[in-house]
Chains A and B, each alone.
Chain A
Amino acid sequence: MPADSSAPAPLSPAFQVELEALLGRDGVISEPTELRTYECDGLTGYRVTPALVVLPRSTDEVAAVVAACARERIPFVARGAGTGLSGGALPVADGIVIGLARMRGILDLDAANQRMTVQPGVTNAEISRIAAPSGLYYAPDPSSQIVCTIGGNVAENSGGAHCLKYGFTTNHVLGLTLVTPDGSVVRLGGDYADPLGPDLLGVVVGSEGTLGIVTEVTVRLLAKPESIRTLVADFDSAEAAAGAVSGLVSAGVIPAAVEMLDALAIQACEKATGAGFSLDAAAALIVELDGFDASCAEDFDLARQLCLDNGATRIRVPADAGERALIWQGRKSAFAAMGRISPDYFVQDGVIPRTRLADVLGSIEDLANAAGLRVANVFHAGDGNLHPLVLYDARIEGQAERAEELATAIVELCVDAGGSISGEHGVGADKACSMMKMFSPDDLAVMRRVRQAFDPLDLCNPGKVFPTPRLCGELPGPYRAHPLEAAGVIGRG
């Protein structure tokens, strides 16, 4: 299945000329130094320089490029902002990257029907910004939202802190225009709910760019909640905080967000942002409720009481919107903040059933102690989506390898607990090998059959999602921060 067996010929000069004729000379990048910009996404340990990068502006241009690739059997990889954390936009050598950064048009805002249609290069935050004058917003909020694109969100089925109440990208995409791997243009979903037949839209969202290239996205917009109430609760132990999360869930409270930080994460966030987390707390929960005034107020009182019942040592309620924003800034820059307490780290993304939080956190600590490494935890506790950060120092020989082994052991622990290898970062190139831990050969074979239906030539983002011997023999290098992340502009949780 990988590029090895279908062995594409190196790109011919004639092919580049053809692409330049389609897109204009400024739409094709072939300078080696410029190509290097595209060699990785947010998973910076994996790097491959593509043969060419093209920057189309329309569905028709994408379709023409893809049709040419199909004819010449040249693999192609779609790319949005390149903030993905699983190597989903990792280029293929001798293949091209189709960068969608120029497709930033707002095609339709239909406020009366609470929907907007945009090109894939529009950022997540831009959608909410454009919708704001109509009193509307787009709910999924990945931590990289000011940079990451809606096209990338669709590919990864991105989540975010507020997905507990509102659901993920797949619950908010009403329709797509898809360029299929043979260059055809297909509309999935769209103007009306409940289209007849198998739900291809639901399969394409989250397929990590392996089933085609999305060139238009129609998203559902929600009315802004009239009330938002936030609290930060400190606990003496991560177990106590986990108990409070279970308490919330079983009391039937569905907060907009429940985020948890352990002591290491609190230290890092405080050093980086001074958001006001208590440095002496073993764990902190950020609980946010939103919606109708009356029910929000009731649930907020209940949430506060449940935190106290589960041993909260201090509860802080932000006095104003500014203080609330600072708390979220602290949370969303948590990954970048790790640089304050460790030279290097791996970020992990596993999911566990919510009732297993306390014991899995304990097991992670045991694994970390056995490996002689520190693990910081900052994660979406409400839906059981863990982001353990394995801290290490690449200058110390053998530590990067131990850290990577620990990160893999942690995600396998999640699977053993009945969870998943990924809650929102995707499988990509990073976790293709772990798929075998979670799925049977038959499960994977059926997924491959679906892929065959869309992409029989295996040209569309090959080598991702599915385990292959070639991939599974490789080891990634140490994590390096995305430049924007290092600058603290974006987060990754």
Chain B
Amino acid sequence: MTDIAAGQRADVQAPSTVTEASALLAAGVADRLRVEIRGGGSKPGWGAELDPVDLRLRTVALNQLLAHRPGDMTASVQAGMPLADLQLLLAEHGQWLALDPPSEPFGATVGGLLATGEAGPRRLRYGTMRDLAIGATVVLADGTIASSGSHVIKNVAGYDLTKLFHGSLGSLGLIAEVIVRLHPLPPASAVVHARASAAQASMATRDIAGCGAEPTAVEWVRRAGAPADGVLAVRFDGSAASTVAAAGRVATLLQAANLTPQVTTGADAALHWRRQTAPAGPAGLVLRAGARPDRMPGIVAALDRLTDASEVTASVMSSTALGLHTITLAGPVAAQAAVAFALRGAVEQAGGALTVRRPAGFAAGDLDPNGPPPSSTPLLALVKAQLDPDGRCAPGRFRGWF
């Protein structure tokens, strides 16, 4: 099979077993074939654009649930299985892989979530693949198959190769199988939401953290073109009684902060949550900023100064308790790039970092998607050289770093 993309010819292969994947990668050693590894393709703009490749490896046929052990609350899954498919299978046993990434409806796969580290709002309670993947089988560029971890949630034997591949964006090799820790599907949810400015949301988030209730997510959402205030949304998952009680406590707390909270419980809660926190639709650049949580009002203020002075509009979704912000821009391309560049400066000044995800075909000029290399760059380069000495996997993904 071949396909022609960006004027370039490359083999497309979709192995259905680890052994097949190993043979495909090993066959390219002599010619140093460069390889793109892709899961569901739901996050094409993450990392820098790849250099031309010779082989496009797809995990679409690595899509089987290998073992589900409900009693142990673990499952091993081939990397190309879409998260949405896995959740359906697990739900039959009242369990789920506790991830709610925005890309789930767009085909995000289990392996892709490990390779990117993407997670959704409820990571506040459950963590990301970094916390939920307890083992993985990977295939290096030379065809070597290596496994780490197992079906136990506690394990310190050997190096944690699973974590090494977390966030690797295909640059170290193929993730072929993942063992994940599961959680019981919560029987009920409750949501509290209130209009709040960035500063109010930040203060309220801190109050919520100390109030004794254990939210699964705390998000602040401000849509482009919406009033200056955004919406703070707090979610609880658990038994009906405890989520109602927790939501009530947080509502009281928000009232005391002069906000006007509304509580949604019962069957409407999950639907309401999805509506409140739906990701911004396809637009231009997507900026992902991270900093200490209390830097959030300053970052939003910097964004507002930049957008006020340009034709760019921005929607913001913040995981306020974690200090993570997804900012989706719209407007003239060059102006978007200028806002992104300037906001990166403001975020870095606040001790954080900002990465840029661009949609296909978006020419953002010299804007560096990855940002300045961290002090660990030489180590990353050495690890890359050990695992992929010919630089075959995802060439250019970490351009400017390694």
A residues engaging B (CB < 8 A)? 110, 112-115, 135, 156-157, 159, 163, 167-168, 170-171, 180, 184-188, 191-203, 205-207, 223, 225-227, 246, 249-252, 254, 291-295, 298, 351-355, 380, 383-385, 418-427, 431, 435, 438-440, 442-447, 449-454, 465
Contact = CB atoms under 8 A, between A and B. Distances in A.
30 contacts: A113-B292, A180-B379, A191-B352, A192-B292, A192-B352, A198-B171, A198-B383, A200-B164, A202-B160, A203-B160, A223-B212, A251-B184, A254-B183, A295-B214, A295-B238, A298-B239, A351-B152, A353-B71, A419-B151, A419-B155, A420-B152, A424-B154, A427-B158, A439-B158, A440-B147, A443-B148, A447-B146, A449-B387, A450-B387, A465-B158
Q: Which of A249, A298, A450 has the most CB of B within 10 A?
A: A450
B379 A186 contact: yes
Nearest to A466: B158
Contacts of B72: 249, 353-355
A198 B155 contact: no
B293 interface: yes
Interface stretch (B104-112, B257-265, B333-341, B367-375): B367-375
Contact of A199 (B164, B294, B355, B375): B164
Given A199-B167, A252-B94, A193 B74 contact: no
Q: Which of A227, A250, A294 has the most CB of B within 10 A?
A: A294
A353 B181 CA distance: 12
Contacts of A135: 210
Interface in B130-161: 130-131, 138, 140, 144-148, 150-161
Contacts, number: 258
A196 B371 contact: yes
Contacts of B374: 187, 195, 197
Provide the main secondary structure of the chain B interface. loop
Contact of A435 (B151, B157, B383): B157
Interface stretch (B26-34, B84-92, B240-248, B273-281): B240-248
Contacts of B161: 203, 446-447, 450
Given A198-B164, A384-B152, A426-B156, A293 B352 contact: no
Contacts of A425: 156
A113 B292 CA distance: 6
Contacts of A446: 138, 140, 144, 146, 161, 387
Given A226-B212, A292-B242, A293-B212, A423 B146 contact: no
B172 interface: yes
Contacts of A249: 71-73
Nearest to B293: A113
A418 B67 CA distance: 13
B305 interface: no
Q: Which of A159, A193, A199, A421 has the most CB of B within 10 A?
A: A193
A9 B323 CA distance: 50
Q: Which 9 A-B pairs have the closest CB atoms?
A: A202-B163, A252-B184, A192-B290, A226-B212, A295-B242, A446-B146, A355-B71, A294-B245, A453-B382
A68 to B, nearest CB: 20
Given A159-B156, A195-B374, 20 more contacts: A110-B292, A112-B294, A156-B156, A187-B376, A192-B352, A193-B322, A196-B355, A197-B374, A206-B159, A225-B212, A292-B212, A292-B246, A354-B72, A426-B156, A427-B157, A439-B158, A443-B146, A446-B161, A453-B386, A454-B379
A140 B399 CA distance: 37
B378 interface: yes
Contacts of B324: 192-194
Interface in B376-390: 376, 378-380, 382-387
Nearest to A443: B146
Nearest to B212: A226
Nearest to B163: A202
Contacts of B171: 198
A187 to B, nearest CB: 5
B206 interface: yes
Contacts of A206: 156, 159-160
Contacts of B242: 292, 294-295, 298
Given A171-B127, A196-B167, A453 B383 contact: yes
Nearest to A449: B386
A372 B146 CA distance: 39
Contact of B71 (A163, A354, A442): A354
A188 B375 CA distance: 8
Given A420-B152, A435-B158, A199 B130 contact: yes
A384 B74 CA distance: 13
Given A355-B69, A424-B154, A447-B158, A192 B213 contact: no
A353 B212 contact: no
B323 A193 contact: yes
B157 A194 contact: no
Given A159-B154, A180-B379, A418-B150, A203 B401 contact: no
Contacts of B156: 156-157, 159, 206, 420, 422-427
B73 A194 contact: no
A418 B157 contact: no
B310 to A, nearest CB: 25
Nearest to A191: B351
A226 B214 CA distance: 10
B220 interface: no
Given A198-B167, A453-B386, A113 B152 contact: no
B154 A383 contact: yes
A294 B379 contact: no
Interface string B206-244: 100110111000000000000000000000001101100
A168 B154 CA distance: 8
B291 interface: yes
Given A186-B376, A188-B376, A418 B151 contact: yes
B353 interface: yes
